[in-house]
Amino acid sequence: MSWITGAGLTAYGKHPGHSTVDLMSTAAAAALADAGLLRGDIDGLLTGYSTTFPHLMLSTVFAEHFGIEPRYAHAIQLGGGTGFAMAMLAHHVVEAGLARNVLVVAGENRLTGQSRDAAVQTLAQVGHPAYEVPMGATIPAYYGLVASRYMHEVGLSERDLAQLAVLMRGHAQRHPGAQFREPIGVDDVLASKPVATPLKLLDCCPVSDGGAAFVVSRDRVNDFAVRIIGTGQAHTHQHVSAAPSLTQFGAGASTRTAMGTAKVDIGDFDYAAIYDSFTITLAILLEEIGLAPRGASGRLAAEGHFARDGALPLNTHGGLLSYGHCGVGGAMAHLVETHLQLTGRAGDRQAGSPRLALLHGDGGVLSSHVSLVLERAA
């Protein structure tokens, strides 16, 4: 058993003059304060990576800078899946008795720390260097390919995808830390600039600066009663050219593993935090996991199913699409928001009194999948 005993999150957007370790430090300090823990209480550390600060040993660079001396530390890399993979690992690290309090932290000045072209080119390297990148492919292009095939097979429309962007923007309006809060409608999404068809600008998450952190503990150290009760992963490919299927990506398998370890069913969840790098990502994940029937995610969003007061509140902070995406911290914001929801501290975003949450992240081009089940204990 493990407990998520604290969580911290910066605003996402522009933090000019703040480095990777600055943003990590801000988020980590907030997570420790939230948990009521001191630096000396942290004996485990997991970090991800930063495209603006590539380093062989980010975890110990951060440990030294922040002022902790963990007895277990390293960085891991799994693209957008990294944050939830770190949560999964932290859970197992404390269960194995290797550490009592594991700090999981990420941060990156991805927006102001480099040129827009540099960000686009770095991210495109998840593609194959010899067989894909030379095509002038970009992350939106890889996802545009996926979208074209998936929409062809299940009958999802561009208007359906737009509903998901509108949903995330609506949620972000209630979060002061969100990068984009101006209201948008379906027609705004459809009229936004094409990036890689069928994806338009408002189908794509932004590039952001930001930091996120949480503490995974062996013991309950405070009144928060959020525990990790299920974990799962699935990895079917790296490159979209080599994906065995563009309708079955491993999200379903990963989630089934997590639900199996937690001994819960798909209908039991009353909160969901699902990776949404693009509207098509969110649609595919919702539909493959089984939180929406095939082709129905946009319709359900339009009907209020995923609203704060709906049957399954989803990404109430605004998701990657509107809260923002700073790399590893991107999906970690989903977890921080889930923690706030399960502890009843989401303020005017509070979605009732959720007890059981499903979190799912992916890295690459729907390549690497990580699922978590979080529960509010009695």
Shortest CB 263 distance to another protein, Å:
35
Give the residue with the Cβ less far from another protein, 99 or 124: 124
Options 33, 242, 311, 377; binder of another protein; rule CB under 8 A: 242
239 interacts with another protein by CB under 8 A: yes
148 interacts with another protein by CB under 8 A: yes
144 interacts with another protein by CB under 8 A: yes
115 interacts with another protein by CB under 8 A: no
222 interacts with another protein by CB under 8 A: no
Options 33, 38, 96, 135; binder of another protein; rule CB under 8 A: 135
284 interacts with another protein by CB under 8 A: no
195 interacts with another protein by CB under 8 A: yes
193 interacts with another protein by CB under 8 A: yes
128 interacts with another protein by CB under 8 A: yes
Options 60, 114, 138, 222; binder of another protein; rule CB under 8 A: 138
Give the residue with the Cβ less far from another protein, 137 or 262: 137
Shortest CB 370 distance to another protein, Å:
23
For residue 235, how far is the Cα from the chain centroid? 17
Residues 332-371 that bind another protein (CB under 8 A): none
Task: Give the count of residues interacting with another protein (CB under 8 A).
Answer: 34
241 interacts with another protein by CB under 8 A: yes
Give the residue with the Cβ less far from another protein, 116 or 223: 116
Shortest CB 51 distance to another protein, Å:
14
| Contacting positions for another protein (CB under 8 A) | 117, 120-121, 124, 128, 130-132, 134-138, 140-141, 144-149, 152, 193-199, 239-242, 246
